Amino acid sequence: MNRILACFAVLLGTSLSLSAGSYSVYVGYADSLRSAPDFPNPFAVGETIGAATVTNVFGACSGGGCDSGAVMIVNTGSTALSVSHLSVNDRANGAIYDIWGSLGLTLAANSAAIFLENSGNNFDSSDFGGNTNPQSIAGFDPNTNNCSTGAISLLAQCVNNSPIVTFTVDGIGSDLFDTGHVLDTGGFDTANYLHNHSDGSVSFNESLQWRAIGTTGVQDPGGVPEPGTWLMLGSGLVAVASRRYLSRR
């Protein structure tokens, strides 16, 4: 039940409060190999998101730059949180990214932690030829019809393969579904397609700005509005979330 409530809470744009504190979970995609405007921000210790400051970054861009999924946990409460584990099940490519080990992280109030690749491109969650492949479906479009948006996003091929972020906060384990398919960039490798960016440019860059997990995907490379706006979307998102969650059990 905690895991169902966690999914619904994030979809509603509210902080989770399944432990002594409360927090929000964001996802993005970080591509610094190619030029584009939507690289996740914040992305370094000392940078801020709302009232919170990034205090921990687990991983670093390596080699020629980042080509990595990205997850951020923000402590929105007034008490410290203990984060002991985080992993990502990228069901579209069959990979489980459990690369950060035993965290032992104490996340103070109004602070954030970011998780990304930590050796080579070992969190390249958009790179696959595996289970989804929406580009093979009639009508596929890298901007308007894929696992993030359009008719294809409603097919079982996408619904049943959204990435899952698993983590433990204050001893409580939660699974959140990336129903916007941010970590797997729409369920296909966006580096192979020209697609739109928030400044109106079109390129092969894969970057997707932070957004609350379970909201929007590649059709919104610049991320989503503030939490107050997400609430207006809440009832419809919960209806979709419940159908998707139940289809996975």
pLDDT attached to residue 131: 54
Are β-strands 23-31 and 67-75 bridged in parallel, bridged antiparallel, or unpaired? antiparallel
Q: CB under 8 Å to 230, separation ≥6 — which residues?
A: 12, 13, 212, 215, 224
pTM of the predicted model as reported, rounded to 2 decimal places: 0.84
Q: CB under 8 Å to 24, separation ≥6 — which residues?
A: 10, 15, 16, 73, 74, 76, 212, 227
Please give the DSSP secondary-structure letter assigned to residue 112: E
Q: Specify the DSSP element, H or E, that contains 127.
A: none
Separation in Å, CA 68 to CA 64, 167, 196: 12, 18, 19
Name the β-bridge partners of 113. 56, 73
Cα–Cα distance for residue pair 176/174, rounded to 1 Å:
6
3-state DSSP of 146-197: CCCCCHHHHCHHHHCCCCEEEEEECCEEEEEECCCCCCCHHHCCHHHCCEEC
CB 148 within 8 A of CB 187: yes
Q: In 3D, which of 182, 183, 210 has the Cα closest to residue 42?
A: 210
- pLDDT tens digits in sequence order for the chain, 249 residues long: 444 445 444 444 445 554 446 999 999 999 998 877 899 999 999 999 999 999 999 999 877 789 999 999 999 999 999 999 999 999 888 889 999 999 999 999 999 999 999 988 899 999 865 556 788 899 999 999 999 999 999 999 999 999 999 999 999 999 999 999 999 999 999 989 999 999 999 999 999 999 999 999 999 999 975 443 333 333 333 333 333 333 333
Tokens 């399944």 identify what position?
18
CB 106 within 8 A of CB 81: yes
pLDDT tens across 114-153, in order?
Answer: 999 998 889 999 986 555 678 889 999 999 999 999 999 9
CB 154 within 8 A of CB 122: no
Cα–Cα distance for residue pair 61/70, rounded to 1 Å:
11
